[in-house]
A and B are shown apart, each in its own frame.
Chain A
Amino acid sequence: MTNSTPAPQTPLLQVRHLCKYFPIMSKGFARKQIGAVKAVDDVNFDLMRGETLGLVGESGSGKTTCARTILRALAPTSGQAIFDTGDGVVDLAQVSEKDLKPLRQKMQMVFQDPFSSLNPRMTVGDIVGEPLVIHKLARGKELQDRVDEMLLKVGLRPEHRQRYPHAFSGGQRQRIGIARALIMKPSLVVADEAVSALDVSVQAQVINLLADLQDEFNLTYLFVAHDLSVVRHICDRVAVMYAGKIVELAESEELFENPRHPYSQALLSAVPSIDPDIKMNFDIGGEVADAGKLPPGCPFHPRCPHRFEPCDKVVPWLEPVEGSTTRTACHLYIPPEKIAAAGAAQAGSN
């Protein structure tokens, strides 16, 4: 989904040092905190207007938590999420609940499960129009007109307004969810596994729809997904998460053609090709990382085929890869003297 108009490159969203930790409590009566799940740990990225940024990584790597923390559906532990409202910037991490409410109109989420995310007792018209009612933006005839218009936009018909979600197929329900998200004319849409539950044939329809709507409304997408071929198809840039951190941030083509981080390489090589003559990598070894019990140093080091001396001691950070726009968090790409300096600093802070 490329944006053809070269918009001025002001980020719509700047995420800085964002952290979300969940407490781990002891068992028994006197429950006290004995640790933390670092679900999102010092995440940094910019989201440009009109672009689609993919967020990928294995289950439990923090994709959903990251998205929800940005939207303040979860309170961040620390960090910033600076959002350009159109007339000024606000830090979503700091803003009060009261000031947040009008901002929520500009940020909408489309969920994975088209079955459970729609209230079965509401008609499609009520579901799609509800955000306008909550924010007191329209009622009566105007409300109806806007609902009808939105239904048409997502490929449903105005007469569907009276029906209940159970009368629709999975793909149609996902369209209802999209209509509901877009009726507020948001600038930022977070799609969390929005096409993952759909059958291939319907998935393609919904992907095309998302692309059309992006063109029409100049939407910015944060696209959370685990299906890498879908991500490759629609994202301009991709952030790869591992154990709560972004380990690689790259332009889409660059990532898929030339992944730099050993985890990105493992992830891409494990995707089964539909060509029986191209063999996938069946066994990268090791267990998925446990965000509640991370190893010291690079969180990927127990599984990494390239690990070397500093890897189990010094935590790597996102550094630009020479001669490319990619940034990655791996000691292979960081000059030794920087690693040594960081090692001393990190040892000092523990």
Chain B
Amino acid sequence: MIKQTVVIVGSGQAGFQTAASLRLEGFEGEIILFGDEPGLPYQRPPLSKTYFADADAQRLLFRNADFFQRNRIKLWDNARAARIHRDRKEVELEDGRTIAYDKLVLALGTKNRELPIPGTRLANVLQLRTLKDADLLRHAAKNASRAVMIGGGFIGLEVASVLRGEGLEVSIIELEPRVMARAVSKPISAHYEQLHAASGVEFHLEESVTSLTGNKKGEVEALTLSDGTRLNADLVVVCAGVVPDIAIAQEAGLAVENGIRVDAHLRTDDPDIFAIGDCASFVHAASNRLVRIESVQNALDQAKCVAKNIAGQKGAQPQAYDRVAWFWSDQAGTKLQIAGLTGPADQWHVCQSDSPEKLTVLAFKDSQFIGAETVNNASDHMTARKILSGRDKVSFKDFESSGFDLRRLAREKTRTG
């Protein structure tokens, strides 16, 4: 058999895992993995968490350089794809090089949403996506005393926590009436608003920033909010969400819809091109909705699925992607975890808790269990995942009759199922 070449664009969580999993699946052809960042592929989650304290970049790496050699994975850094020539099955890099592929995997991730307001180019107005961003932020934080987060989502809150820990005064500006509004239920938002407020974080909810102003040196000095309030700041972190980084897919004529559109096997409308991770949108089988998920779990599991489908024998049934989504966040000294996709929930149930530090909130849609949010309760989280990955649907009534005891319910379900 002629050996195939798989080219993977984007060497983040999903791109790296695809390369590693292809070898685990016994793929023997050539693997070229490239991305536009410098250095070896690394993990992003610690950037807004432990990296702040330890600044140990080596700890972030997925693998040593040795691993790539041993596994015959050609890794190119500082290489950005400019165009995909589908007719010739080639990727053209910004530096003019071209690479031919048999199969192409797009793992392009996201880029930060830019704010359409004056002043975002001032010094000390930063963002956090890459290791380089994290180093700039750590450095700026050393000389700052008043930080403002624009955006109260996961990353905004994690960074707020870390900066409070460094002794900075911290404010958060959030457009929605509550933090993490698009991702979690009201009880969880309220829990975290309370925790962060107790640690000294100040909130400006239902507010937006209309402009940033700087001093003579071109450093940020203040923000103006939509209600006219002026906040002084010597460090501003823009964490106002991200958008998929998919211009090259769009220009190549691939279908896009809030991300690169893929089918159940993570294939785009070109049978030789796949898309995975933060940049891909797909129909979530359990809820029949088009989703794009930004999480480590999604990136990892989609990478494994794509590797199976590429390395699989000709004629073998391709594998459909159907893993239960889960996510975590570290904030204010607590562990927040989400199992399942709770977006469409129309009913929430807050479970009784044996400790004020623990919280479990269950999500239902049309009386069916679709997910759980937990604070400091890893065992409820893991049990919820077990229930969600089972074949049987579980209803609100099932929970009622088991006294909302997740473990009991899981035992009952596995016994009958």
Chain B binds chain A: no
Residues on A close to B: CB < 8 A?
A: none
